[in-house]
Amino acid sequence: MQPLTLKYYKVMINRALIRLKIVQIVYAYYQNGGKNLDTAEKELFFSLSKAYDLYNYLLLLMVAITKYAEKRILAGKNKMKPSPEELNPNMKFVENRFILQLEENEQLLYFVENQKKTWDNEDDLVRALYEKIIASDYYQEYMANEYRSYTEDRELWRKIYKNLIYNNPDLDSALEEQSLYWNDDKEIVDTFVLKTIKRFDIKKGAKQELLPEFKDEEDQEYARRLFRRTILNADYYRHLMMENTKNWNLDRIAFMDQVIMQIAIAEILSFPNIPVSVSLNEYVELAKIYSTPKSPAFINGMLDSIVNQLKKDNKLTKN
């Protein structure tokens, strides 16, 4: 799977995640015989909710690492013959004010209470991450500097997350074992977490707002309408594809390519406010993740041809 860059998902991240999920659910819908549209729609929104759970769970990971560091300090003090360093440890990391604020965050505490998700059963993973953190140059510099500021505390964790948690294969594997819904989510959700770290303000205390599950009701409706239009108008979209295959039989086109193009056409025709260029770019990027190496160029060419046909036939309305 090719990496999803922070630059690409910096804008419209909510819709980027929605598109990715719809590709997964539509593909599964047809693989399962296309029997129940309502059930598939519920699966879509459940899948999106699991991605939001992952966002909260990754925020908790930073708290879990800090608590592990506290346990290490306590264990050192309780040794039979602790060293002077163990008796008088540097507490700067465990007293990091960004983490203290995150630990007290009302929304995150609500998530813990309702979802009962913790990192308590992932001791090896948490320990491995902590060992990498304390070996890093930015940690060493942070601990050696006696000056303390909230900005410095927050910046340390931005660096830790970006360098050690973001795109971490061991962590990705552990998360995939916990939930199949998280297989392709983490790289996008990582960008949510980095954005959240950057937004934290000490003045907001425990009431600091986390990112919402949906940016607004419009995004929720976007997900519902795009999914339903993709399925309900499938015959028309496939007809457009067949007319633009240049003498190819549609059966010769990879099924995932068909699914991606079907969703792309649904978006192009159903959402006047989304520029055609945005839709084309988004679905070509998804083809890089889910389909063959040649698929992005093929899909781009096919969709471009279909858009030109729709314009010629006066069937494409864009604001």
Reported as a pLDDT band with limits 50, 70 and 90, residue 116 is confident
Assigned CATH topology for domain 233-312: N-utilizing Substance Protein B Homolog; Chain A (1.10.940)
pLDDT value at position 89?
A: 86
Q: Considering only 35-49, 133-147, 178-192, which range has the smallest mean pLDDT?
A: 178-192
What is the 3 state secondary structure string of the chain? CCCCCHHHHCCCHHHHHHHHHHHHHHHHHHHCCCCCHHHHHHHHHHHHHHHHHHHHHHHHHHHHHHHHHHHHHHHHHCCCCCCHHHHCCCCCCCCCHHHHHHHCCHHHHHHHHHHCCCCCCCHHHHHHHHHHHHHCHHHHHHHHCCCCCHHHHHHHHHHHHHHHHCCCHHHHHHHHHHCHHHCCCHHHHHHHHHHHHHHCCHHHHHHCCCCCCCCCHHHHHHHHHHHHHHHHCHHHHHHHHHHCCCCCCHHHCCHHHHHHHHHHHHHHHHCCCCCHHHHHHHHHHHHHHHCCCCHHHHHHHHHHHHHHHHHHCCCCCCC
Q: Taking residues 284-305, what's their average pLDDT? A: 93
Backbone angles phi, psi at 216, to 5 degrees: -165, 180
Rounded Cα distance, 193 and 214, in Å: 15
Rounded Cα distance, 268 and 266, in Å: 6
Rounded Cα distance, 138 and 156, in Å: 7
Mean pLDDT of the residues in the chain: 90
CA distances from 83 to 73, 104, 144 (A): 12, 33, 19
Reply yes or no on whether the pLDDT at 13 is more than 60: no
Query: Which amino acid, one-letter code, is at 113?
Result: E
Number of Cβ atoms within 10 Å of the Cβ of 258: 22
The more confident residue out of 54 and 248 is: 54
Reply yes or no on whether the pLDDT at 172 is more than 50: yes
pLDDT value at position 72?
A: 93
Reported as a pLDDT band with limits 50, 70 and 90, residue 201 is very high
Reply yes or no on whether the pLDDT at 248 is more than 80: no
Reply yes or no on whether the pLDDT at 9 is more than 80: no
The more confident residue out of 240 and 80 is: 240
Contact 167, 191 (CB under 8 A): no
What are the structural domain ranges in the chain? 13-207, 233-312
pLDDT value at position 23?
A: 95
Q: Taking residues 9-38, what's their average pLDDT? A: 81
pLDDT value at position 80?
A: 83
Q: Taking residues 237-245, what's their average pLDDT? A: 91
